[in-house]
Structures are given as C-alpha cells and as structure tokens.
Amino acid sequence: MDPSLLKREDRCRWVIPPTGAMRVRGVIYADRDLILGMDDKVRVQLSNVASLPGIVGDAVAMPDAHWGYGFPIGGVAAFDADAGGVICAGGVGFDISCGVRLLVSELSAAHARPRRGELAEALFRGVPAGLGSEGAITLDDIDMTAMLNGGARWAVERGWGRPEDLPRIEEGGAMGGAMPEAVSEQARRRQRREMGTLGSGNHYLEVQEVTEIFDEAVAAGYGLERGRVVVSIHCGSRGLGHQIGTEFMREMLLAAPGFGLHLPDRELACAPIRSELGTRYLGAMRAAVNCALANREIVAHLTRQVFARMFERGRLSLLFDVSHNTCKVESHVVAGERRRLHVHRKGATRALAGGHPDLPEDLRPYGQPVLIGGSMAVGSYVLVGTPEAERAAFASACHGAGRAMSRHEALRRFGGRQIQDHLASEGIVVKSPSTRGIAEEAPDAYKNLDAVVLAAEMAGLARRVARLSPFACVKG
DNA sequence: ATGTGC
C-alpha cells in the first residue's frame, strides 16, 4: 500500500479520510513497514466498509490486516441498529467464531520437550484433523439443537469438558440469542460427525513453551512462567459455520435491492439489523458461535486425554478462549455517548482492559488475555487488553501474523516435506494429514509476527505478556 | 475457512 494515500496521525495510526460514499473514516493501525507490505485492497475494502449504513466510529484495520471476502481480515466495524445499522455476513466470515484457546499445564518444557515426537504422534491420533475429518461423536437432531444453544456448556454437560473452563470462555461458554431453527438442514447435516475435529487450513493444535515474559505481574496472574508447557488450539465451527456463511451471503445479496441498499461491493452483502433476515442471520451466526465454542471444548478434552495418558502431572487448565470471527452486541462510548453496537470482528480479537465487568473475577484485575496465533515455526503471543483499545478500536486487537502471500503462491514456492524436515531440525515436530496443507501454511507465507504484535502494542491496542514457542504441532 | 470448484 502506498502510504501517501493515507494521512499519518501517529506512529501507528493511518487514516483514510472520508470521501465519496464513506460515512466514517477508515483507520489502519500499523507501522510504516507493515503499511508498505499491506495489499492496497485493504484500503479499498476498508473504505467500502466505511460506507455501509449505520456504521459508527471508525472502520478499523489491524496491523495483520489482509484482503478478505468483502471485509478485510483484521477488520473491526461497529453498527447502530437504531441508526439503520446493518449486519454483514462477510464481516464475520465463513469460519464463524474461529478462535484460539490456551491451556496451561504444570509441566516444564525440559520434561516434555524430549518426548515431542511421541506427543505429536499421540495428539495426531487423538484429535481428528484435515479437510472433511470426522470425530467419534455423532449428533442426532435433538443433540444438534442442544449443542447450538448450549455451546461449551453443552459439551461440559455431556462430559467432554470441565465446568471450571466456562468462565474462561467468551460468553461464559454459550452465546445467548442463538436460533437453531435458523440453521439449515444442510448446515446441520454437514456438522453431524464433525464435533471435536480440528479442520484444515490455518487451524492447528500446538504444544508450546513459554519462552519470554514481558509483563511479570500479568503473566503471574495468568499462571504463565518461563519454561512452562502450554497448549494452543486454533479451530472454528467447521462445515456448519461455512454453510451458514455461504447461504446467508447469497440470501443477503438477493435481498439487498429490497432493502434499498447500494452495495459498494457485492461481497459486502448485508441486511438491516432490524429486519427479519438480519435477525435470522444473527440467530444462525450465534448458533455457529456455540458450535465453535463446543468444538474447541471437545478438542481440548481430547488433548487432555492424551496429556493424562502421557504425563503423571498432565493436567491442563484453560487460561482463556477467544473468538476471532464474530459479531457481538456490546456497549461502547462513541463521541462521549454510550451506545449499544453490533461490533463485527473479522480476524480480530476482543481485548478488554482490566476492571471490565464482563471479565471473570479472577482475571478482572489484569485484563483479558488476548491470544495471538502465529505460524507453525514462530508460535504465539499472549497479550492483555488496554483502556486505549476501547477508544481506538471498540476494545479490539490483532489476531495473528496475517498472510503475506496467497495459498497459491505459497504452494508454488514451498514444499511441505522440506518445511517439515527443516522444522524437525529446529526441534519442532509437525504432523499433518496434508503435506500440501503444510506448504500452504509455510512460515514464510506469513508476515513477521513480532512486527505485527509490536505495532499493536505501539498503537495501544494491547500489551505483550508472554511469547510461546512450539515444539509439537498438529496441523489441519 | 470449506464435502477447495455456480
């Protein structure tokens, strides 16, 4: 992206002033190098988002932003239903409530790392991964509906999780307002055998070591210390979320003329929040959120079974579970006025500051853990939300490294086997059903995670707490 | 992301 097309307001704040149909500003949080490496489509897509009806505040892009379906991935936009605001299926994305959870063990990496081959093998056998993978659970219609309403709570009730996990999950494990009746037969059918599966693409399960601490007090509050083994799980709502996204994007596109909506891009198909279609999408989307929350709870359960078998002190406690693709009704102050807004986060993480009433009591003094996934070579970060993030981005931060090149380009440039061998020589065992998938997810196909996280910190969106380095990875 | 593809 050409920085001269933007107005630089601060070291990490670049503004697209409103022109043409734009109702609000676009703001990109990034340093100069990230702007230079960012696709110009992010600027165009953010301007399009800024022209949607009822948008409030700024249309925001995160330092890891790249172009996506309609909305940029790494985009945040808030809409006021009372001001004609819309809900946009492309603003949530296909993988509804894709997200990350972090489990903390009592093990030292010195103890577990030498067994990484065995560990990766056991996790690969224990957690189904890959395109079309199926789990051991089959849901009938009644159980499907209970899952779509109950999310991780349902999984816990069925014995595939722990009650103490629930407060550590956004929404307490289950998002209210789900409408299972708004989920099509087709979406249900696709999900019947997919609970407790990782999926493919950038989804993964990683065993990592806490290698760096940036904030001792917050890290201690989170139970993170150097040398400790942790597990990151990144997955979403599988076939069900994808099917819902596909169906509603089409329906919203067909319905747009009837709503009098002039779409800047057909991929931004949307519906007024206060319409039958908008209500139905939100209900189906919330059901898909619950599907993702249940899925991550079950994948964690399968992971716990492996750890319990392999280690005497294999207990895993949930630090937090965040969603990266969602739309939630939240209360935010805009221009001095508190308003209830529908906040779209697509490839972005909620990042609440310390003291926020929505945080569980034991995390409230510190702030929300913001879980940032990277590539299979560099691992992840744990950040904490800040008060500035509320003012800058509706309490949001970045979600990962962000792709630097397309999957197609990555396939052309890298070989999955070579990447696996190289990582093995660096002490990272990667298991995957798809060698091609490993090539598509090549570490060099991603932006520099350190640079992205540093830019987020400089922009005031979140503060670094700890860095996590992988040694065993199951890749979808 | 996805029973990769209307």
CATH number reported for the structural domain that contains residue A354 in this entry: 3.90.1860.10
- How distant is C1' of B2 from CA of A132, in Å? 9
pLDDT at res. A456: 98
pLDDT above 90 covers a percentage of chain A that reads: 97
CB atoms within 10 A of CB A408: 9
- How distant is C1' of B2 from CA of A72, in Å? 19
Tokens 């093998």 belong to which residue? A121
User: Would you say the C-beta of A236 is within 7 Å of strand B?
Assistant: yes
Residues 328-387 of A with CB under 7 A from strand B: none
Mean pLDDT, residues A337-365: 97
**Tokens representing A291?**
């599907």
What residues of A are designated binding site?
A: 95, 202-206, 234, 324-325, 373-376, 380, 399-402, 475
Mean pLDDT, residues A28-57: 97
User: Would you say the C-beta of A186 is within 7 Å of strand B?
Assistant: yes
pLDDT at res. A402: 85
- How distant is C1' of B6 from CA of A190, in Å? 20
Q: Which residue is nearest to nucleotide B6 (CA to C1')?
A: A250
Closest CA to A145 of A325, A283, A296, A327: A283
Q: How many domains are there within chain A?
A: 1
Tell me, yes or no, if the pTM score tops 0.75: yes
Q: What is the pLDDT of residues A271-315, one digit of tens each?
A: 999 999 999 999 999 999 999 999 999 999 999 999 999 999 999
Q: What is the pLDDT of residues A110-134, one digit of tens each?
A: 999 999 999 999 999 999 999 988 8
pLDDT at res. A281: 98
Q: Residue A136's pLDDT band (boundaries 50, 70, 90)?
A: confident
A301 among known catalytic residues:
no
Residue A88 backbone phi and psi in degrees, to 5: -125, 115
Q: Describe the crossing of helices A116-126 and A276-310 by its angle, rounded to 10 degrees.
A: 140
The residue segments making up the domain with residue A255 are: 3-475
pLDDT at res. A395: 98
Q: Describe the crossing of helices A238-255 and A276-310 by its angle, rounded to 10 degrees.
A: 170
Strand B bases with any atom < 7 A from protein Cβ:
1-4
- pLDDT, mean over chain A: 97
Using the CA of A131, which nucleotide's C1' is the nearest one?
B2
